[in-house]
Amino acid sequence: MSETRHNWTKEDILEIYNTPLMDLLYNAATIHRKHHDPNTVQVSTLLSIKTGGCPEDCGYCPQAARYHTDIEGNDLMSVQHVKAQALRAKSSGSSRICMGAAWRNVKDGEEFDQVLEMVRTINKLDMEVCCTLGMITENQAQRLAEAGLYAYNHNLDSSEEYYKEVISTRGYEDRLETIDNVRKTNVTVCSGGIIGMGENAEDRAGMLVALSTLNPQPESVPINALVAVEGTPLEDQKPVSIWDMIRMVATTRIVMPETQVRLSAGRTEMTREGQAMCFFAGANSIFAGDKLLTTPNPDVNADMEMFKMLGLNPQKPFIKKMQPETVEAQDSQYQALGEKPKWTRPEHKIERNEEAKQKAKVLK
């Protein structure tokens, strides 16, 4: 029976967040093991398909046109370049490609059509496809769904109260509206936030209230540690403590038990021991690759070494859209046929071809 609830209050979440650390870790790990394989971590690769020149004023973002950073802008990538990057990521263990474009909102036209073709192309590689393109309309969300998009990322960033201290060019309701537009399709929602921007524990709890009271809750919640970039308003913020990250991950796991919790930006400042504690506390997804859009990230080979050290395995694509018993039954059937299961969308279930069906009849 699902433990998911949608009536969390800020007081409830603060009580969890402030629990003595050993108790917090135990509770989070217990819930994590009820809903997830503790030795499996989903690996995503984040690709900036259009960098720089964004008209927004997000205080943490080096891609804002108004800030003087060293970010080198580029126009929209070609479909061929994106496919090559996706194949490279797949060979390194990634099961999801997340494409980010520095837009305030999606505009219909040639560039959006090109993004749709990127989605179709990566989908054919049997990889999950995620996009973060700014605000989108219901019609645009539907077109992305039809192209085969698996997830749409649109972070809330912080609590509604603190959000105004960081961003003025887009309202909190605008972000919630985009999430609602995505929810009208079969695309999953990826939405989380950033800690270390000067907010307090109440703001962190407020963000989790906003996310956990969505029904359904986001399938994926990234927890980012601010990477302070010179030239942005938040350039002088000190790195957030690893203990704050562990507490945030653990609290997120307890409040959203079935969600994939993503250990996202800021991992370059974390030791392997710190990351291991985050995995124990309930994080079961990371972004791999040397960059997260424009900020540094651990080398993928270093991540694979860490996985080996901790006994972790990369998650296969599309697993989380299936019931565990269905996955096990279908996998067993395919193994009996000497074949590998083929994961497909949008139904998110294994689809056997006609030849496999005939073999199954013979076996019976």
Residues 132 and 99 sit within 8 Å (Cβ to Cβ)? yes
Q: Which is nearest to 210 in space by CA: 187, 179, 244?
A: 179
Residues contacting 62, CB < 8 A, separation 6+: 69, 70, 71, 229, 231, 232, 294, 295
Cα–Cα distance measured from residue 223 to residue 263, given in angstroms and rounded to the nearest whole number: 6
Provide the pLDDT for residue 318.
86
Which token pair is 124?
């054919």
Active-site annotation holds for 131:
no
- Per residue in 298-322, pLDDT tens? 678 888 899 999 999 999 998 764 3
From 175, 262, 267, 345, active-site residue: 262
From 58, 175, 183, 278, active-site residue: 58
Active-site annotation holds for 58:
yes
Cα–Cα distance measured from residue 23 to residue 29, given in angstroms and rounded to the nearest whole number: 10
**What angle, 0 to 180 degrees and rounded to 10, lies between the N-to-C axes of helices 110-123 and 138-147?**
40
Element (H, E) at 287: strand 283-288
Which token pair is 163?
């959000």
Coil vs helix vs strand at 284:
strand
- Per residue in 143-197, pLDDT tens? 999 999 999 999 998 999 999 988 888 889 999 999 999 999 999 999 999 999 9
From 98, 143, 170, 175, active-site residue: 98
State the SS3 of 85-145.
Answer: HHHHHHHCCCCEEEEEECCCECCCCHHHHHHHHHHHHHHCCCCEEEEECCECCHHHHHHHH
Residue 327 to residues 2, 83, 176, 320, 322: CA-CA distances in angstroms? 18, 28, 32, 10, 6
Active-site annotation holds for 278:
no
What does CATH list as the number for 10-321?
A: 3.20.20.70
pTM (2 d.p.) = 0.83
Burial class from Cβ neighbours inside 10 Å (0-12, 13-18, 19+) for residue 301 reads exposed
- Low-confidence spans in the chain with pLDDT less than 70: 1-3, 53, 65, 67-73, 289-298, 320-364
Cα–Cα distance measured from residue 36 to residue 146, given in angstroms and rounded to the nearest whole number: 29
Q: Which is nearest to 306 in space by CA: 295, 298, 317, 315?
A: 298
From 170, 175, 183, 190, active-site residue: 190
From 96, 130, 204, 267, active-site residue: 130
Domain-by-domain residue ranges, the chain? Answer: 10-321, 324-363
